[in-house]
Amino acid sequence: MSPSEAEAIESELVPPFAVARPSSLQGPLVFNSPHSGRVYPSTFLAASKLDPRALRRSEDAFVEELFGFVTDLGAPLLHAHFPRAYLDVNREPYELDPALFRDGLPHYANTQSVRVVGGLGTIARIVSESDEIYREPLSLEAALERINRLYTPYHETLKALLLEAHKEFGLAVLIDCHSMPSNPMTEQGVGRPDFVLGDRFGASCSGELTRLAAGQLKSLGYVVALNKPYAGGYITEHYGRPHKGQHALQIEVNRALYMDETSFEKAEGFARLRDDLEAVVRALMAGVSGLAIPRAAAE
Asked whether the predicted pLDDT for residue 8 surpasses 80, the reply is: no
- Residues 6 or more apart from 288 whose CB is under 8 A from it? 27, 28, 29, 171, 173, 209
Residue-wise pLDDT tens digits, 220-235? 999 999 999 999 999 9
Scored b (16 or more CB within 10 A) or e, 196-225 reads bbbbbeeebbbeebbebbbebbeebebebb
Lowest-pLDDT choice from 42-46, 103-107, 188-192, 274-278? 188-192
Residue-wise pLDDT tens digits, 61-71? 999 999 999 99
- pLDDT for the residue 291: 79
Q: In total, how many domains does the chain have? A: 1
Domain assignment of residue 224, given as a range: 3-39+52-84+150-290
CA 128 remoteness from chain centre:
16
Q: Is residue 113 part of a domain?
A: no
Q: How confident is the model over 162-170, as a mean pLDDT?
A: 96
Q: How confident is the model at residue 185 (pLDDT cuts 50, 70, 90)?
A: low
- pLDDT for the residue 189: 57
Q: What residue spans of 82-135 are helical by DSSP H?
A: 114-117
Residue-wise pLDDT tens digits, 248-270? 999 999 999 999 999 999 999 99
Q: Is residue 282 part of a domain?
A: yes
Q: From CA 173, how far away is CA 171, in angstroms rounded? A: 7
Q: Is residue 21 part of a domain?
A: yes
Parallel, antiparallel or unpaired: strands 29-33 and 77-80: parallel
Q: From CA 71, how far away is CA 53, in angstroms rounded? A: 31
CATH code of the domain covering residue 272: 3.40.630.40
Number of C-alpha atoms within 13 angstroms, CB side, residue 64? 20
Asked whether the predicted pLDDT for residue 187 surpasses 80, the reply is: no
* Residues 34 and 176 sit within 8 Å (Cβ to Cβ): yes
Long-range contacts, 119-122 (Cβ 8 Å, 24+) = 120/88, 120/91, 121/88, 121/91, 121/95, 121/96, 121/97, 122/87, 122/88, 122/91, 122/92, 122/93, 122/94, 122/95, 122/96, 122/147, 122/151
Asked whether the predicted pLDDT for residue 176 surpasses 80, the reply is: yes
Q: Is residue 99 part of a domain?
A: no
Element (H, E) at 166: helix 152-169
Q: From CA 163, how far away is CA 172, in angstroms rounded? A: 7
Put simply, whether the predicted model's pTM sits higher than 0.85 gets the answer yes
Peptide bond connecting 15 to the previous residue in cis, omega within 30 degrees of 0: yes
Q: Is residue 249 part of a domain?
A: yes
